[in-house]
Chains A and B, each alone.
Chain A
C-alpha cells in the first residue's frame, strides 16, 4: 500500500481479477536488478529426504559412500513422493535426522555430504526425444528428475503431469505471478532464461496433451513479460503471455485460474477438473533442464533479500546449502533481523536456526528488520470488516477467530474454516493487528488432530468390539461343540450301554472319546465362526492378530486403496494453499 492512502488504490485491472486480496508493498526493487549468480559450493550440504508434499524418500546411500553430482540418493516411496539427488560430488558423512526448514524445526532424515570440490557429474538422466516421446515418458522423466512445484508448494510435478489420465485437460497455466513481496527469482529467471522457461512449458504442455498454454505474469514485471513474449513460439505451441494485475494472492492456483479463465474452481475440487493445470515458471525451467540436459533438480534460484541483508541477490543455490552460508555469501546480516524467513513475507516460514538447508521449495531467504515487519500492538476487533473485504475466499476471518477463541471449532468449520487458504491477507489488513490467520492455522491443526484422534478412537473401539464379538463367537462355538460332544457322548454311552447289556460279557468298552476327538475340537471351531467376524470387521483383518497390528494393516490398506485419488487430492489441497507463495 502506498504511504498516502489516496494514491495507488485505483487499479482498473482489479475489476477483472477476483474479489478480495491486498496490495502489500512489493519491495522487489531490492533484488530485481541483481542478475542470477551461482552460489559457490559450501563446506557441507545437508539434503533432507523430505522436501516435498508426500512421503519421505528412502535413502539409497549410507555414511562413507562417495556420491557423484546428480546421483540418486533418495528414492521416491509411494505414489506421492519425489526423488532426491546429490547436488555435487563428495562423500556422505552422515545420514540421519536433522532439523528441517519448517517452523516446527522437527527433524527429517537428511543426507549430509561433504563436497570434494571436483563437482563431478555422474551419469545424466535419459533424454527422450521430446518431439516424439510419449507423454508418459516425459512425465516419467520429470518424476525421475525429482521435480516438485518450485513456487513453494513442492507438490511432485509428475503427479500433476499425470492428471491427464484422469481429467479432460485443455489448458496449462504457467504461474509466473510471483505475487509475494520481495521475491524476484521467477522474474529474473524469465528475464535471463526466457527461452528455457518457455521450452519447459512446451514440454509440459506435450506431457499434458493440452493445446493452450498461458503464461501469467503480474503487471509489475514488464521486462519478464517482454522476454517471454519474445520466446513464445516453442515446440508446436504458441504461448499466450498474459499480464495479470499485481494483487496478492494472485499466485494462488484457483485465483489465477479465475482471473485468466473466469472459471471458479468448486470448493474441495482441483483445477484439473475444469481442464486446467497450473505449474510454476521455475518448475518449467527445471523440466527444461531435466529433459534437454538430463539434469535432475539439484539447485534452484533463491531470492535473498530484506533490509537486514547486506547485499540482496538472486542466487542459484545447490539444494542442501545451509541458509547461514547463503546469507554469508550475501555479505551477512547488517542488523539483527526481526524475522528470518524462508519464502515471502506473506506466507513464508520463520526459522530460528540458520543452519537449516535450502530445499526445493525455498524461493526466498528474507531477513526483515523491525521496520519492515511492522509488528504492532494488538487491539480489540473493531469490526471494521477489512478482513472480510480482503479475504480472497469470501470468509469472515474476524468471526472465525471469535469462534475459535470461544472454543467452537465446529462452528468455525461451519462458516468456512477449512476453505481458508492461509494467505494472510486478513492479518495483513487488520487495523487492530488481530492474529487472524495465525489463529486459523492453529484451529486447522487442532481440527485435523482432533479428527485423526477421533478416527483412531473410533477405529480402536470398532476393532475392540469386533474382537469381543469374535471371542464371543468362538466361545459360543466352543460351547456348541461341547454341547454337541456331550450329546454325542451321551448317545454313544446309551448305545454302548445297550450294546453292553446285549453283549456284556463279549466285548470291552471302546475308547470312544479319542475316536470322536477330531470331529469337534476347539481349534476346529475357529474356521467355522470366522465368517461371523467379518460382518463388522473388514475382510482383511486377520483373526487372532493384535488390535494395534490390525489397525496398522487397515490403515495401510486404506492408504493404498485410496492413495490414487484421495491422498492426492488432499495433498494437492495443501499444496494449493501454499501455492500462494508464488
Chain B
C-alpha cells in the first residue's frame, strides 16, 4: 500500500466550488438572456457572442502575461460571467467593437490590473459599463424597440451589417428607455399623468416588452433568476432585498411629497436594470461586503444612490455608478462591520457570565 496523504483536516468538502458557483449564476441568467436575444434578434446574438468571447480571450491573455496557470484559472468561468453580465448591459444593437472594448476594459482594467480573481475592488463589468457610458454616451443609449415585429425581423445578413457595420440603423433607434423617457418628458414640462400615459403599460415594462439593454428588459425573468440564485444558496437575500427596499422607499417618499415631479415607486422596480443589479451585480462576491449587516448597508447605499442618480443625475440609468461607488466603500464596511465572535461582545470583550449577547 502506498502511503496515504498526510494533510490536516477537514478531509471532506462541500460540493461548492468556484466554477460551480459561476455556473449557477449563468444558469440563473439564462432565461433573461434568451428572452433578450429573442427580442432583439440576431444583432443581439452576435454582440453577446463577441463580448463573451472577447472577455475570455482577454482573460487568457492576461493570465499568460501574468505568468499564472492559464488552464486552471481560465476555466473557472469567472471571465465568461463577467463578459456575459457586460453583454447584458449593452444596448442590443451596439456595434461589435463596443462589446470588445467593454470586455477588454472589464477584464484588463477591472480585474487583472488589481491582481486577478478575487483581488479587484470594483465590479469589472460595471467598470466597463461606466467607462463606455462616459466615453460613448450616444452609442450606449441607442435603444431599439423590442419584439419580432421590429428587431426580430432582421435577417442574419442584415444583423451582420448592424453588428459589424455601422451599428443600429437610425430608423430602428427608439429614443429612450422608459426611465429616460419619463425624465426627459418631465423636463420638457409635461405633467406626470400625461407622461405615464405616454409610456408603455406597467405590465409591459415588468414583462420586458420595452426598449432597453440586451438582457435588462424583463424584470420578471431577472427576478425569477435571482430567486433561484437565493434558493440555490449562491447568494443571500440581504443585498437584493436592501437594494430594492431602499430604492422603493426612497422613491415612495419622494413620490408622496411631490407626485407631480416623481414617478410612482413601482416604476423604478419595473425596470429590469434594478433587478439585474440587485440580484446579479451588487451580489458579486468579490466586491461586496462579507457580513450580513455589511451587506445590508451596502445594498441600502446602492438603492439610495440609484434613486438619486436617476432623479437628479446626468445619466438616465444610475446602476453602474451606484454599484461602483458602493464598491469603493466595501473595504471600509468590512473593516467596521464584523461578525460577533462567539462568547464575546461586538467590541471583542468576553461576555460577562449570564449576559445575553
A residues bordering B, Cβ < 8 Å? Answer: 1, 3, 5-6, 9, 18-19, 22, 24-25, 103, 181, 254-255, 258, 263-269, 273-274, 333, 336-341, 345-352, 366-368, 372-377, 379-386, 388-389, 391-396, 398, 415-416, 419, 424-425, 427-429, 431-433, 437-438, 441
Contact of B118 among A6, A333, A383, A429 (CB under 8 A): A383
B119 at the interface (CB under 8 A from A): yes
Inter-chain CA distance A264–B352, complex, in Å, is 10
Q: List 26 A-B contacts (CB under 8 A).
A: A1-B16, A6-B232, A18-B342, A103-B8, A264-B355, A266-B344, A267-B342, A269-B353, A339-B11, A346-B11, A346-B12, A348-B9, A375-B7, A380-B119, A381-B118, A383-B285, A383-B288, A386-B16, A419-B343, A419-B344, A428-B13, A429-B16, A431-B20, A432-B17, A432-B118, A441-B8
Q: Contacts of A346 on B, CB cut-off 8 Å?
A: 9-12
Among residues 8 to 50 in chain B, which have CB atoms less than 8 Å away from a CB atom of chain A?
Answer: 8-18, 20-21, 24
A58 shortest CB reach to chain B, Å: 31
* Contact A396 B286, CB 8 Å, known A22-B14, A266-B351, A269-B353: no
Contact A384 B8 (CB under 8 A): no
Q: Contacts of A438 on B, CB cut-off 8 Å?
A: 7-8
Contact B12 A382 (CB under 8 A): no
Q: Contacts of A374 on B, CB cut-off 8 Å?
A: 12-13, 15
Q: Contacts of B21 on A, CB cut-off 8 Å?
A: 382, 384, 431
Q: Contacts of B76 on A, CB cut-off 8 Å?
A: 379
Q: Contacts of A181 on B, CB cut-off 8 Å?
A: 12
Contact A382 B343 (CB under 8 A): no
Contact A382 B117 (CB under 8 A): yes
Inter-chain CA distance A425–B9, complex, in Å, is 10
Q: Counting chain A CB atoms within 10 Å of each CB, which of B4, B24, B233, B288 scores highest?
A: B4
Contact B232 A5 (CB under 8 A): yes
Contact A395 B9 (CB under 8 A): no
A20 shortest CB reach to chain B, Å: 8
Q: Contacts of B116 on A, CB cut-off 8 Å?
A: 380
Q: Smallest CB-CB separation from B289: which chain A residue?
A: A385
Inter-chain CA distance A368–B10, complex, in Å, is 12
* Contact A395 B285, CB 8 Å, known A269-B350, A347-B9, A438-B8: no
Q: Contacts of B287 on A, CB cut-off 8 Å?
A: 383
Q: Smallest CB-CB separation from A4: which chain B residue?
A: B232
3 nearest A-B pairs in the assembled complex, by CB-CB distance:
A424-B10, A267-B343, A266-B351
Q: Contacts of B2 on A, CB cut-off 8 Å?
A: 336
Inter-chain CA distance A45–B300, complex, in Å, is 65
Inter-chain CA distance A240–B21, complex, in Å, is 43
B357 at the interface (CB under 8 A from A): yes
Inter-chain CA distance A441–B21, complex, in Å, is 28
A505 shortest CB reach to chain B, Å: 90
Contact of B12 among A24, A268, A396, A416 (CB under 8 A): A24
Q: Smallest CB-CB separation from B232: which chain A residue?
A: A5
Inter-chain CA distance A494–B316, complex, in Å, is 113
Contact B118 A266 (CB under 8 A): no
Q: Type the 1/0 row for B52-84, where 1 means its CB is closer than 8 Å to any CB of A.
A: 000000000000000000001100101000000
B196 at the interface (CB under 8 A from A): no
Q: Contacts of B17 on A, CB cut-off 8 Å?
A: 376, 379, 431-433
B261 at the interface (CB under 8 A from A): no
Contact A394 B339 (CB under 8 A): yes
B107 shortest CB reach to chain A, Å: 15
Contact B340 A394 (CB under 8 A): yes
Contact A382 B18 (CB under 8 A): yes
Q: Smallest CB-CB separation from A248: which chain B residue?
A: B10
Contact A348 B286 (CB under 8 A): no
* Contact A267 B6, CB 8 Å, known A6-B232, A428-B14: no
Among residues 299 to 357 in chain B, which have CB atoms less than 8 Å away from a CB atom of chain A?
Answer: 338-344, 348, 350-357
Q: Contacts of A273 on B, CB cut-off 8 Å?
A: 353
Contact A431 B18 (CB under 8 A): yes
* Contact A437 B341, CB 8 Å, known A384-B285, A432-B18: no
* Contact A348 B18, CB 8 Å, known A254-B343, A380-B116: no
Contact B11 A348 (CB under 8 A): yes
Contact A267 B341 (CB under 8 A): yes
Contact B342 A392 (CB under 8 A): yes
Contact A336 B1 (CB under 8 A): yes
Q: Contacts of A1 on B, CB cut-off 8 Å?
A: 14-16
Inter-chain CA distance A380–B338, complex, in Å, is 22
B120 shortest CB reach to chain A, Å: 10
Q: Contacts of A441 on B, CB cut-off 8 Å?
A: 8
Contact A388 B290 (CB under 8 A): yes
A327 shortest CB reach to chain B, Å: 10
Contact A396 B290 (CB under 8 A): yes
Q: Smallest CB-CB separation from A265: which chain B residue?
A: B343
Inter-chain CA distance A339–B21, complex, in Å, is 27
Q: Contacts of A19 on B, CB cut-off 8 Å?
A: 342
Inter-chain CA distance A527–B335, complex, in Å, is 60
B36 shortest CB reach to chain A, Å: 26
Q: Contacts of A385 on B, CB cut-off 8 Å?
A: 285, 290-291
* Contact A429 B14, CB 8 Å, known A338-B4, A348-B9: yes
Q: Contacts of A424 on B, CB cut-off 8 Å?
A: 9-10
Contact B4 A352 (CB under 8 A): yes
Q: Counting chain A CB atoms within 10 Å of each CB, which of B3, B339, B342, B356 scores highest?
A: B342
B231 at the interface (CB under 8 A from A): yes
Q: Smallest CB-CB separation from B356: which chain A residue?
A: A264
Inter-chain CA distance A181–B343, complex, in Å, is 26
Inter-chain CA distance A274–B357, complex, in Å, is 15
Inter-chain CA distance A532–B16, complex, in Å, is 67
Contact A382 B10 (CB under 8 A): no
Contact B10 A437 (CB under 8 A): yes
Contact A380 B118 (CB under 8 A): yes
Q: Counting chain A CB atoms within 10 Å of each CB, which of B1, B10, B12, B290 scores highest?
A: B10
Q: Counting chain A CB atoms within 10 Å of each CB, which of B7, B12, B285 scores highest?
A: B12
Contact of A254 among B12, B286, B342 (CB under 8 A): B342
Contact B10 A347 (CB under 8 A): yes
B9 shortest CB reach to chain A, Å: 5
* Contact A5 B343, CB 8 Å, known A266-B353, A338-B4, A385-B291: no
Inter-chain CA distance A134–B291, complex, in Å, is 51
Q: Contacts of B72 on A, CB cut-off 8 Å?
A: 377, 379
Contact A345 B11 (CB under 8 A): yes
Inter-chain CA distance A388–B341, complex, in Å, is 11
Contact B357 A264 (CB under 8 A): yes
Q: Smallest CB-CB separation from B335: which chain A residue?
A: A399
B342 shortest CB reach to chain A, Å: 4
Contact A415 B338 (CB under 8 A): yes
Contact of B8 among A5, A265, A350 (CB under 8 A): A350
Contact B4 A395 (CB under 8 A): no
Contact B353 A267 (CB under 8 A): no
Inter-chain CA distance A267–B17, complex, in Å, is 33
Q: Smallest CB-CB separation from A263: which chain B residue?
A: B354
Q: Smallest CB-CB separation from A268: which chain B residue?
A: B350
Q: Contacts of A258 on B, CB cut-off 8 Å?
A: 342
Contact of A394 among B3, B8, B342, B355 (CB under 8 A): B342
Q: Contacts of A373 on B, CB cut-off 8 Å?
A: 11-13
